[in-house]
Structure 1
Amino acid sequence: MLNSSRLFAGIAASALALALTACATAGGGTVAEPTPTGASTQEPTAAPSPTTSETPVDAQDPSTWVVTAAGIGPVELGMTLPDAIGVMPEGTTNDTDRCAWAAWWSAPDGGYQVVTARPGDASEDGPVDLVASMTLPESTGVTGPLTPEGIGVGSTLEEVQAAYPGADFMDTSDGSAVGGRRFIQLEGTIFLTFYEGAETVSEITVTTHATPPYELCA
Structure 2
Amino acid sequence: MDIDTRRPRARSARILSPLFGAAVTAALLAGCAAPASPTPTVTQTVTASADPSPSPSPSASSTPTAGVSPSGIGDVELGTPYDDAVAAAGATPVEACPWLATGEADGYMLTIQRPEVSDQDPAVVDLVQVSASPVDLEGKPAVGPLTAEGIGLGSRLDQALAVYPDAVEVESVGDRRYLAIETGAGTGSVFLTYTAGTDIIWGVTATTLDEPPYESCA
Shorter-chain TM-score: which interval?
A: 0.5 to 0.7
> How do residues 59-208 of structure 1 correspond to structure 2 at under 5 angstroms?
63-64=64-65, 66-88=67-89, 90=90, 92-95=91-94, 97-108=95-106, 111-122=107-118, 125-138=122-135, 139-140=137-138, 141=140, 142-170=142-170, 172=171, 177-188=172-183, 189-208=189-208
Aligned residues: 149
> How do residues 3-82 of structure 1 correspond to structure 2 at under 5 angstroms?
63-64=64-65, 66-82=67-83
The code of the aligned residue for 1:179 comes to: G
Shift of 1:87: 2.1
1:78-116 Cα distance to aligned partner (Å, 9 max, x none): 11111111221x4x2113x312111111125xx211111
Verify the 8 A CA contact 1:101 1:124 in the aligned structure 2. Answer: no
2:145, 2:64 → 1: CA distance? 5
1:115, 1:136 → 2: CA distance? 14
Distance 1:65-1:102 versus aligned 2 partners, 3 A rule: farther
1:2-41 Cα distance to aligned partner (Å, 9 max, x none): xxxxxxxxxxxxxxxxxxxxxxxxxxxxxxxxxxxxxxxx
Shift of 1:191: 0.5
Q: Please, which runs of 5 or more residues in structure 1 have no aligned partner?
A: 1-57
Superposition RMSD on alpha carbons, in Å?
A: 2.3
1:202, 1:124 → 2: CA distance? 33
1:178-215 Cα distance to aligned partner (Å, 9 max, x none): 13111111222100111134321111101111111011
Shift of 1:118: 0.2
Task: Determine which structure has the larger strand proportion and give its number.
Answer: 2
Verify the 8 A CA contact 2:190 2:207 in the aligned structure 1. Answer: yes
Shift of 1:62: 10
Verify the 8 A CA contact 2:66 2:150 in the aligned structure 1. Answer: no
Q: Please, which runs of 5 or more residues in structure 2 have no aligned partner?
A: 1-60, 184-188
What TM-score do you get using the length of structure 2 for normalisation? 0.62
**% identical aligned pairs:** 39
Verify the 8 A CA contact 1:194 1:200 in the aligned structure 2. Answer: yes
What TM-score do you get using the length of structure 1 for normalisation? 0.62
Greater relative contact order (CA < 8 Å, ≥ 6 in sequence): 1
The code of the aligned residue for 2:145 comes to: P
